[in-house]
Amino acid sequence: MEYEYHNIEIDILDGFGYVRITQKETGLPYDIILDSYGIPKNMITMPHLGVVVEGLVVPVLIDEKPQILTDYDFVDASIVFNWILKHHKALLQHWNKEVTDREILNKVVDC
């Protein structure tokens, strides 16, 4: 059975299980949400991050061909896709828990 991705309201996130990277830190038009705890990988097989769009967290595939994993389309998705491509290796390392939250922030935040 394949996992079904959903958009979730940003207010539902508990704040402890996620790293929120702001627009100011990335230069993107949206905040980015990265999993911090580690989601059971037997439930979700495709690495992804969340893009905060109008109060929703929209899942986007971390891949060499990024794509939105729901039917919610948003303006400037291509800018987010390019950012994912730029940081693809580091994002996958974080997804696989090979780097810490602090390390991923150092790698993807524009200083």
Domain ranges, ordered by start, for the chain: 8-101
Cα distances from 90 to residues 3, 9, 22, 101, in angstroms, run 24, 26, 17, 11
pLDDT above 90: residue 81: yes
Distance of CA 62 to the CA centre of its chain: 8
Report residue 43's pLDDT band, with 50, 70 and 90 as the boundaries.
low
Question: What pLDDT sits at residue 36?
Answer: 79
- The helix/strand/coil state of 34 is strand
Q: Determine the angle formed by the axes of helices 88-95 and 77-86, rounding to 10 degrees.
A: 80
Q: Look up the pTM and report it.
A: 0.85
Token pair listed for 45: 């097989």
